[in-house]
Chain A
Amino acid sequence: MMPVADICELNLTELSKLLATRELSSSEAVNAALNRLELLESKLNAFITVTREQAIAEAKKADDEIARGRYRGPLHGVPVTIKDLFATAGVRTTAGSQILADWVPEKDSAVVERLRAAGAIIIGKTNLDEFGHGGTSTLSHFGPVHNPWNIEHIAGGSSGGSAAAVAAGIGPLSYGTETGSSVRRPASYCGIVGFKPTFGIISRTGSFRGAWSQDHVGLFARSVKDVTLGLDPVAGFDAHDPASVHQDTAAYTARLDANLKQLKIGILRRFLEGVNHEVRQAFEKGLEVFAGAGCEIVELDVPEVSYAAMTSMMTSSAESAGINRRWFRERHQDFVPHVSRGIAVGMTITASEYLTVQRARQRIREALRTAYEQVAIIASPTTARAAPLIADGVKGNGDDTRHASYNHSNLLRFPSMLGLPGCSLPCGINVEGLPIGMQLIGSWFGDQIVLNAALAFQEGTDWHTRRPALASA
């Protein structure tokens, strides 16, 4: 029998292969992940609900099915985690809020339905900023998430619990959501791969909304191939999500190709001036990897992007106020204070102002559409610095979303505001031992190109194989 620590070290690709060949059982894999969870949870606070009994029962069922030759695919029997924004039938779904602390949905969200159909075993629901409103995962009714690389630091948000879980070896795959940067930022801070596809690729039905025109489902794993294995079963049209797009049956894994000859990668260098020195250095070294793989690095100048963070903030602020207005009026004191205040500010944005903001958004979109005629990908550091201290509070991220500027926040916010596919992947570790990430942002529906480029980067580097010391506990 394989030791528990070794099972938790397996990435999804490796684990999936062992489950398919029955060299390892789902019961062993699920128990190992649950044991790791219980060992580390007092340090990480990454989970709101653990579904131990249900997961163990489902793992037994998966083992029976696989033994009878009814193998469903790469997620069959795999322990996975999901952000506690996804509704789960019969299991409480809190969205990190006191308001929903005891709410038990009757129906699964679309993502959960698809995961169950693929045979995945959900072992727990991860902690987050309340209703996804935040970038630190400290704004949760259930307390802050801690970064597995150093528990004094934040995991990033809002999908911080998911990122921390994967980084700590608690299941090889987790699903989160992103409205501003809630997949890419925590992936960067936690030293793992985070991918959010083009708007409309994964259904959001049954997941709580941060801001409907910017919300995406995304996922976390330890390698790019693991991401595609997790993406294939959940991508697809859903008539219940008005943003959902018709698409071919997902085959991102089958189409992975690390050959990047002549791929053009754009850099918006003016936005990197305020970026931390070590982060910038790691990013520049990352660019050398791409250049070495035959890519052409193109300097871009898109000044309209300097309005992106402000436009994104105004959009999400107004939309989240629209979504939460009833709860705010009836129970504003039950929100996390910082989140409550954000909703209050959003409620004072008028309809005509919101529409003005959408015009600005359209101008930025057009500028980037033109930019993507020159390049296939825009690359940048994912975040301007490594994970800040929890003690630094919400300002620790160093974002500026209230001024038109060349602040790096604009690079973090434009992909979700415009629905572009984005992948954050590890590209370094700083002197404090904290991970550094770089992001690759593709054009609309250029998801495969982004994933292929990310794969090529991983084939030329080993940053994605680094683990926090805590993960080998």
Chain B
Amino acid sequence: MKPTEKFTHRLALLAGVDLSQAYLDAIAAEIEDLDRIVAELEEFAQGTPWVSQQLQPATSKA
């Protein structure tokens, strides 16, 4: 996916909310930065087990 497509994809998650162009401009840099942050964290987390949390009642016992 090209960077512009990634940005558009993320903005699609805000679809249905009537946001002005000025508002979108204000968050554009932060949204564009998310791809880099996630990529860094993904590399950092390599080899770590996925978090798995069951929802047994707190009073349950084996």
Q: A-facing mask of B1-19, CB < 8 A → 1, else 0?
A: 0000000001101101101
C-alpha gap A362/B19 in the complex (Å): 35
The verdict on A261 contacting chain B, using a C-beta distance below 8 Å, is no
Q: Are A332 and B19 touching (Cβ within 8 A)? A: yes
The verdict on B27 contacting chain A, using a C-beta distance below 8 Å, is yes
If A332-B17, A332-B19, A348-B10 touch, whether A341 touches B41 (CB-CB below 8 Å) is: no
The verdict on A344 contacting chain B, using a C-beta distance below 8 Å, is yes
Interface residues of A in 242-264 (CB under 8 A from B): 242, 244-246
Stretch from A24-32, A112-120, A351-359, A432-440 contacting the other chain: A351-359
If A362-B45, A404-B44 touch, whether A345 touches B16 (CB-CB below 8 Å) is: no
C-alpha gap A239/B57 in the complex (Å): 9
Stretch from A201-209, A307-315, A407-415 contacting the other chain: A307-315
Interface residues of B in 4-58 (CB under 8 A from A): 10-11, 13-14, 16-17, 19, 23, 26-27, 30-31, 33-34, 37-38, 40-42, 44-45, 48-51, 55, 58
- CB within 8 Å: A-B pair count: 83
If A329-B17, A358-B51, A402-B37 touch, whether A363 touches B11 (CB-CB below 8 Å) is: no
Q: Which A residues are in CB contact (< 8 Å) with B58?
A: 237, 239, 242, 244-246
If A310-B40, A344-B14, A348-B14 touch, whether A359 touches B48 (CB-CB below 8 Å) is: yes
Residue of A nearest to B55 (CB): A242
Residue of B nearest to A356 (CB): B42
Q: Which B residues are in CB contact (< 8 Å) with A239?
A: 58-59
If A348-B34, A360-B48, A362-B49 touch, whether A311 touches B17 (CB-CB below 8 Å) is: no
Q: Which A residues are in CB contact (< 8 Å) with B31?
A: 345, 348
Q: Are A356 and B45 touching (Cβ within 8 A)? A: yes
Residue of B nearest to A329 (CB): B17
Per DSSP, chain A at the interface is helix
Q: B-facing mask of A346-374, CB < 8 A → 1, else 0?
A: 01111001011111111100100000000
C-alpha gap A348/B38 in the complex (Å): 12
Q: Which A residues are in CB contact (< 8 Å) with B44?
A: 304, 307, 360, 363, 404
C-alpha gap A350/B14 in the complex (Å): 12
Q: Which A residues are in CB contact (< 8 Å) with B33?
A: 402
C-alpha gap A359/B48 in the complex (Å): 6
Q: Which A residues are in CB contact (< 8 Å) with B37?
A: 310, 314, 402
The verdict on A328 contacting chain B, using a C-beta distance below 8 Å, is yes
Q: Which A residues are in CB contact (< 8 Å) with B27?
A: 341, 344-345
Residue of A nearest to B24 (CB): A344
Cβ distance B20 to chain A, nearest Cβ, rounded Å: 9
C-alpha gap A357/B42 in the complex (Å): 7
Cβ distance B34 to chain A, nearest Cβ, rounded Å: 7
Q: Which A residues are in CB contact (< 8 Å) with B11?
A: 348
Interface size class of A (residues with CB under 8 A): 20 to 34
If A246-B58, A310-B40 touch, whether A359 touches B14 (CB-CB below 8 Å) is: no
If A246-B58, A355-B51, A359-B50 touch, whether A314 touches B13 (CB-CB below 8 Å) is: no
Q: Are B16 and A359 touching (Cβ within 8 A)? A: no
Q: Are A344 and B19 touching (Cβ within 8 A)? A: yes
Residue of B nearest to A310 (CB): B37
Cβ distance B28 to chain A, nearest Cβ, rounded Å: 10
Q: Which A residues are in CB contact (< 8 Å) with B45?
A: 356, 359-360, 362-363
Give the interface centre of B19, B42, B49, B58 by most chain A CB atoms within 10 Å: B58
Q: Which A residues are in CB contact (< 8 Å) with B59?
A: 239
Q: Are A307 and B49 touching (Cβ within 8 A)? A: no
Contact residue among B23, B38, B48, B49 (Cβ-Cβ distance under 8 Å from A353) = B38
Q: Which A residues are in CB contact (< 8 Å) with B50?
A: 355, 358-359
C-alpha gap A361/B42 in the complex (Å): 11
C-alpha gap A350/B35 in the complex (Å): 11
Q: Which B residues are in CB contact (< 8 Å) with A245?
A: 58
C-alpha gap A404/B39 in the complex (Å): 12
Cβ distance B56 to chain A, nearest Cβ, rounded Å: 11
Q: Which A residues are in CB contact (< 8 Å) with B41?
A: 307, 310-311, 314, 356-357, 359-360
Q: Which B residues are in CB contact (< 8 Å) with A347?
A: 13-14
Task: Other than A244-B58, A348-B31, give 20 A-B pairs with Cβ distance below 8 A.
Answer: A237-B58, A307-B40, A314-B37, A328-B17, A329-B16, A341-B30, A345-B30, A348-B10, A348-B13, A356-B45, A357-B38, A357-B41, A359-B48, A360-B45, A360-B48, A362-B45, A362-B51, A363-B44, A404-B40, A404-B44
A-B contact pairs, 18 of them (CB 8 A): A307-B41, A314-B37, A314-B41, A329-B16, A332-B17, A344-B14, A347-B13, A348-B13, A348-B31, A353-B34, A355-B50, A358-B50, A359-B41, A359-B45, A359-B48, A360-B42, A362-B49, A366-B48
- List the 8 shortest-distance A-B pairs measured between CB atoms, nearest first: A359-B45, A348-B10, A360-B45, A360-B41, A358-B51, A363-B48, A359-B48, A348-B13
